[in-house]
Amino acid sequence: MSELTFERISDLSLRETLDCGQCFRWREQGGGSFSGVVRGRAATVRMDGDSLVISGAKEADRAMWADYFDLGLDYAKIKDELSRVHPVMADAVRYAPGIRILNQEPFEALISFIISQNNNIKRIAGIVHRLCGSFGGEIADGVYAFPTAERLAALSPDDLEPVRAGFRHRYIIDAAQKVADGTVDLEAIRALPYDEARTALMQITGVGVKVADCVLLYGLHRLDGFPLDVWMKRAMVVLFDGMSPRAFGEYAGIAQQYIFHYSRMHPELF
């Protein structure tokens, strides 16, 4: 199987990026390598010095992988600007400077963050794993793609019982049906003004303001999105003295990810 290499990559730590709560499908293999599935492609990724190496990937997918890891954006510059906004922001950036916001598949982000509600990250990953194993296509031995909207749309809540997502089963099905029948057009939503995009997503049962913001940030790469979960609400009050997220500007979503990870790793601050 072939390997893709991206040379001279800065501002990327795979561990910090893949294990900061924005995605749920990567498993560390040891030695700093991670295995996962993106847009139906299985791969194992590692850093070799300042090169990002993606094994199991095809040359034809080079652009897709570059997009996934957001390699076209100058994170050094963005982190520098964000750090000037507030001293705690600078602390959060220093704590995990290798975080990038991934370009995840929109439907996967939608379902993943529906599952995230009133749940913990470890169990979210387990539910997503079982959802893929039960209803996703097998793309290699024991490796499964994320299920399509069409497949999930045809299920009943009881069919999802082996996934053990509890009360979220009907939310998953409603989301899949609205995506499959075009009621919710995720690619069209990508281009809408922020509030309209949010309102469009909130037509789905089980999608409120916070989940919509997560879908916009992680699935549609709207970097101005700023999901406020329990950790972020506390952080903005306690660490940022009630500052408005808008103070972070057009890359507020990136700031959010640094603050979220920093807060979760420092519970003693609260």
Query: Which of these segments, 2-10, 77-85, 131-139, 223-231, binds DNA (CB under 7 A)?
Result: 223-231
Query: Which of these segments, 28-36, 115-123, 144-152, 241-249, binds DNA (CB under 7 A)?
Result: 115-123
Nearer to DNA among residue 57 and residue 219 (C-beta): 219
Helix runs in the chain, H state only: 14-18, 62-68, 75-83, 87-95, 106-115, 121-135, 149-153, 169-180, 186-190, 194-201, 209-214, 230-238, 252-265
Is 268 a residue that touches DNA (CB under 7 A)? no
Alpha carbons 270 and 267: distance in angstroms, whole number: 6
- Work out the burial of residue 90: count CB atoms within 10 Å of its CB; fewer than 13 is exposed, 13-18 middle, 19 or more buried: middle
Q: Out of 120, 142, 187, 241, point to the residue binding DNA (CB under 7 A).
A: 120
Site string for DNA, 151-190 (x = CB under 7 A): ----------x--xxxx-----------------------
Is 230 a residue that touches DNA (CB under 7 A)? yes
Closest distance between DNA and the C-beta of residue 87, in Å?
A: 21
> How many CB atoms within 10 Å of residue 232?
21
Is 206 a residue that touches DNA (CB under 7 A)? yes
Rg of the chain, C-alpha, whole Å? 18
- CB–CB of 61/95 below 8 Å? no
Is 211 a residue that touches DNA (CB under 7 A)? yes
Q: Out of 212, 239, 252, 255, point to the residue binding DNA (CB under 7 A).
A: 212
Site string for DNA, 3-42 (x = CB under 7 A): -----------------xxx--------------------
State how far Cα 212 lies from the chain centre.
Answer: 12
Query: Which of these segments, 53-61, 146-154, 178-186, 198-206, binds DNA (CB under 7 A)?
Result: 198-206
Quote the longest CA-to-CA distance of the chain.
Answer: 52
- Work out the burial of residue 253: count CB atoms within 10 Å of its CB; fewer than 13 is exposed, 13-18 middle, 19 or more buried: buried
Alpha carbons 72 and 96: distance in angstroms, whole number: 20
Site string for DNA, 66-85 (x = CB under 7 A): --------------------
Is 227 a residue that touches DNA (CB under 7 A)? yes
Number of residues that bind DNA (CB under 7 A): 36
Nearer to DNA among residue 61 and residue 218 (C-beta): 218
Number of H helices, E strands in the chain: 13, 7
Return residues touching DNA (CB under 7 A): 20-22, 116-123, 161, 164-167, 202, 205-212, 214, 227-232, 256-257, 260, 264
